[in-house]
Amino acid sequence: MRRTKYWPYSDVVEKILVQYSYADTSSKYTVYTPQKNWYFIALTEKGLPLAREAYKRRLEANLDFVKSHKSLAPLLYFGASFDSKIKRAFFYSKPTHEIASPYVKSIIDAKIGKAPESPIKRRTLYTARELWEMIKGVYESERLDVIYAAFHSVVSTKTAVEALNEFFSPLHKRGLVLLMPSYTSKSVYPEMERWIVPWELLELVETEAARLDPAKLKSFVRDYVMVLLLALAGEGYTKGELLKLAEMIAGENRELGLSYDELMEGFQRFVMEVSSTAGCISGFNELGGHDSPPFLVLDREALNNVMRESLELLGSRALFLT
């Protein structure tokens, strides 16, 4: 593989690792792309403990730097995503302004009984709705942890990404985090760079993240739920579906002290505020039944801007929760 900013690859290093059984040659595979070929090889069970020991020593030498960024602890600990292929946490290096991840959306849809509309016009082996029926039980059994949902959303903002990039860049130079593109077994996506972070680093911030002021955390999560409900309503979720969601969030996150009435009353106020200040949606549809929309979208682009700005405000607040 060509030398890139991701891996300074060396045939000699690979031969040494393989010779001492620290790397597994059977794990080798290559992803072929028009620009370059990407080559991957994994450590063995013998190589992993050695790598962990080397990493911990390097981390101990940089403890002061990590601890000096304690304001990032909630973002780092609660906002990390997980890549099951490489068994590592990661953060994207570019903002995506994602209000709810596909995983969170799947839990929500399963629990409120919303099935996807099939875009398929002709019959295949299974329609989208049939596939959903097969897997929704998995999501129905999952708890919607709204704290993690909120921080996963917030780490997608420009504000949070810039703060995390500033933190990770020096650690990358010191060999404590890895910057690499997102990839599958068939393709590599250089435009979707991710910081790959070992759990040893995240464990350092766990204690600091647990010290969040309960009142600040409750207010932060409540305001995230307002943005989440606004986004889902804008996507066509009905009043009844949002009522179920608010009830589910309050019931599954009792430690926060959020009530169903508090969430729905707050959402109605938020809708009226957006309606009066931005004019992109109608007022809240108080008289409509459960199958009716919570409001009418009058200007889709303006509504998207409101949601993006609201999310950015949450990103700024997340840096001052400790």
| Higher per-residue pLDDT: 186 or 2 | 186
The whole model's pTM is what? 0.88
Report the Cα 160 to chain-centroid distance in Å. 12
pLDDT tens track for 57-108: 999 999 999 999 999 999 999 999 998 877 889 999 999 999 999 999 999 9
pLDDT tens track for 177-192: 999 888 776 777 878 8
Q: Which of 52-66, 136-150, 159-173, 308-322 shows the lowest mean pLDDT across its residues?
A: 136-150
Report the alpha-carbon distance of residue 296 to residue 130 in Å, rounded. 30
Give the DSSP letter string of 9-65: --HHHHHHHHHTTSEEEEEEEEEE-SS-EEEEEEE-TTHHHHHHHHHHHHHHTTHHH
- C-alpha distance from residue 202 to each of 80, 196, 209, 249, 257 (Å): 9, 11, 10, 26, 27
When mean pLDDT is compared over 129-133, 139-143, 175-179, 243-247, the highest value belongs to 243-247
Q: What pLDDT is attached to residue 284?
A: 96
Complete edge-to-edge strand list for the sheet that includes strand 88-92: 81-83, 88-92, 188-197, 178-183
Q: Is residue 196 helix, strand or coil?
A: strand
